[in-house]
A and B are shown apart, each in its own frame.
Chain A
Amino acid sequence: MKTLLSAAAAAALLAAPAMAEVKVGMITTLSGGGAGLGLDVRDGFLLAIAQSGRDDIEVVIEDDQQKPDIAVQIADEMIQSERVDVMTGIIWSNLAMAVVPAAVNQGVFYLSPNAGPSQLAGPGCHENYFNVAWQNDNLHEAAGAWANETGYTNSFILAPNYPAGQDALTGYKRFYEGELAGELYTQLGQTDYAAEIAQIRASGADSVFFFLPGGMGISFLKQYADSGVEIPVIGPAFSFDQGILQAVGDAALGVVNTSQWSKDIDNPTNAAFVESFEAEYGRLPSLYASQGFDTANLLLSALEVAEPSDADAFREALRAAEFDSTRGDFAFGPNHHPIQDIYAREVIREGDVFTNRIVGVALEDHADAYADECSM
């Protein structure tokens, strides 16, 4: 087991075992094809903990290998033998669904730095569950809103055939007001999009919306750029985040994508975050890193007020969200999901690095569509 202890905390443990200490369990993806996301969340989280200077917080980190059964096993161990107070870290919605409901029912607090499945925002919401990133539909809804604003009236939309993919298309259609030139479900993990691109070419669409996270998006964008189809593309930030833009290269230049975070959001917290992250890890932060960083700062702000052992006071402190977010304004809605601005960004090149620049606000103070179904 990889346990990260600050040296001071280790010394404190040896000297005074009775000292109050907060134990955080982080389950995230650190191996396999999705490891880049987990690494960014972990690094952002640990950066905030290190900057707080607190030596009484112990973070236990485990790799879920992107497998639900392994995540469940680790969660059981963390809750029952490690006795963690707070859990965080899960990237994928299917893993979150396997771990979170059981964890919060055992009295642990769970702060989600990424996954935001609709079930946990609606009927399955829980007083100990807080999502610091977004509800899954949010960025897609913003893409739909931005398409209206740009004047697109005939979109071709595609996503993988799995729950988050279906949510994506639903989210886009919830806000998009134009016609659909076509609607396609691809296979999860598909790497060749020649057939889909041919259909897009033949469809007469004026815009293409796609949600293809990870390697799927890299493949799609490279093949799309090479096909000579000129229809503008729009998508959520997942296919344009800092970790994968360099692998997409020129093919992504100029594409508009929607995100709750961007490295050029103008506030002192964000500027300091971007600078210190780059100094510490030698790469630009991604939106996942910003989510990890914000999650840790939310936790730290609540710990200033109350200990997790005093569950009611600690929960109230979390709900208040009295921390400086990298996103600027940040508040929780009634279902403990963010109410926040979602931006439209454009992919640009800075020197030899590809990154994003904000071109407008797609949705202001946006809450999710499931809050009404939540009763707690």
Chain B
Amino acid sequence: MSAILIIEQVLNGLQFGVMLFLMAAGLTLIFGVMGLINLAHGSLYMIGAFAAAAVAGATGSFLLALAAAMAAAAAAGALVELTVIRRLYAADHLDQVLATFALILIFSEGTRWIFGSFPLYLDVPAALSGPVTLPGGIDYPRYRLALIGAGLAVAVGLWALTQHTRIGIRIRAGENDREMIAALGVDIGRLYTLVFALGAALAGLAGALVGAIQSVQVGMGEPVLILAFVVIVIGGIGSIKGAFIGALLVGLTDTLGGIFLPEFFKLFMEPGAATQTGASLASMAIYILMGLVLIWRPTGLFGARA
């Protein structure tokens, strides 16, 4: 296996990781600040992708499509927070899971009702299509490099927001003690709506960015949602930094595991069986990683709460 192939796969792992981070960041904020398990986060990802496909189809502009994706997902998030989620903060986790699962069904069938049952078309913008040759002679898709850049930029932006702005201080305070910051005169209701919309916008952005190289279809958010939960459990619930490290770990483990495990089994098995065993084990790799992290640190890598 050549060095070029390995570098290319590391880039693939990074790209997958930063996109997972966009999903996981919103999920961990919502879980951390409000103590809410939001299964419908995958639906917001789907809404972002559909809004982007619709706007890109109508206007031909990818930037407008991205803006529309974030706006649509944030609006859907805020609406859901005000009408449904708000009643669930005091409820136990099982009620939250039930209610947000119902939201998945409503969003999925609603999207089908509006857009139909066939997948939509969303393509990468012309300026970013095709491969680019990196130093060392690696051909790598330009769009995937842009995804890595966009993901890192969002990570830096989120870090700056939570560490260096007033709203960020309130978010962190809300995470630690919601009664106390309410007593200090912060409108906790508005803060929650804001955090929810922010998380939703990030999910929508991820859906639109990833939708351009995947299939924009109903139900596209749920597989990503499961991975995002793995990420926040590994990273520690409520921690943006944890979500970032966790997302990169999961992205790299999943991608590199898929490459190296079959190769590893080929050392002592015949190729056909090795591919199948390797592929099966690779699909378990991130869950094994999660298990190991939890044995070592039961609250996740950067989890504060016991």
Contact = CB atoms under 8 A, between A and B. Distances in A.
Given A218-B214, A227-B141, 5 more contacts: A184-B262, A185-B279, A186-B279, A195-B258, A198-B8
A36 B118 CA distance: 5
B276 interface: yes
Contact of B275 (A185, A201, A247, A248): A185
A193 B213 CA distance: 10
B9 A215 contact: no
17 contacts: A33-B218, A36-B117, A183-B271, A183-B272, A185-B276, A194-B16, A194-B255, A202-B4, A215-B214, A215-B220, A216-B215, A223-B213, A226-B124, A227-B131, A227-B139, A246-B121, A247-B121
Nearest to A286: B118
Contact of B12 (A195, A226, A247): A195
Interface string A220-240: 001100111000000000000
A32 interface: yes
Nearest to B276: A185
Contacts, number: 122
A201 to B, nearest CB: 7
Sort A-B residue pairs by CB-CB distance and give the 6 closest, nearest first: A228-B131, A215-B215, A218-B215, A247-B119, A35-B117, A194-B12
A269 interface: no
B279 A187 contact: yes
A31 B124 contact: no
Nearest to B12: A194
Interface in B5-46: 5, 8-9, 12, 15-16
A115 interface: no
Interface of B: 1-2, 4-5, 8-9, 12, 15-16, 108-109, 112, 117-121, 123-124, 129-131, 139, 141, 143-144, 210, 212-220, 223, 255, 258-259, 262, 271-272, 275-276, 279-280, 282-283
B5 A202 contact: yes
Contacts of B121: 246-249
A105 interface: no
A267 interface: no
Given A187-B283, A222-B123, A243 B213 contact: no
Given A194-B144, A195-B9, A33 B219 contact: yes
Contacts of B109: 31
A161 B280 contact: yes
Contacts of A183: 271-272, 275
A64 to B, nearest CB: 14
Contacts of A192: 12, 16, 213-214
Contacts of A30: 117
A31 to B, nearest CB: 7
**Interface SS majority for chain A:** helix
Contacts of B214: 191-192, 215, 218-219, 222-223
B166 to A, nearest CB: 38
A130 B2 CA distance: 51
A247 B120 contact: yes
Interface in A21-38: 30-33, 35-36
Interface string A176-209: 0000000111110101101100110110000000
A331 to B, nearest CB: 33
Contacts of A219: 213-215
Given A189-B223, A222-B213, A228-B130, A244 B12 contact: no
Nearest to A29: B117
A183 B271 CA distance: 9
A37 to B, nearest CB: 9
A214 B15 CA distance: 24
Contacts of B219: 32-33
A195 B259 contact: yes
Contacts of B108: 31-32
A201 B139 contact: yes
B139 A228 contact: yes
B244 to A, nearest CB: 19
A164 B131 CA distance: 33
A36 B1 CA distance: 40
Contact of A215 (B12, B119, B258): B119
B130 A226 contact: yes
A247 B214 CA distance: 10
Interface string A45-62: 000000000000000000
Interface string A155-187: 000000100001000000000000000011111
B118 A198 contact: no
A145 interface: no
A39 interface: yes
Q: Counting chain A CB atoms within 10 Å of each CB, which of B121, B124, B223, B280 scores highest? A: B121
Interface in A337-365: none
Nearest to A32: B219
Contacts of B275: 183-185
A102 to B, nearest CB: 28
Contacts of A247: 118-121, 215-217
A201 B129 CA distance: 18
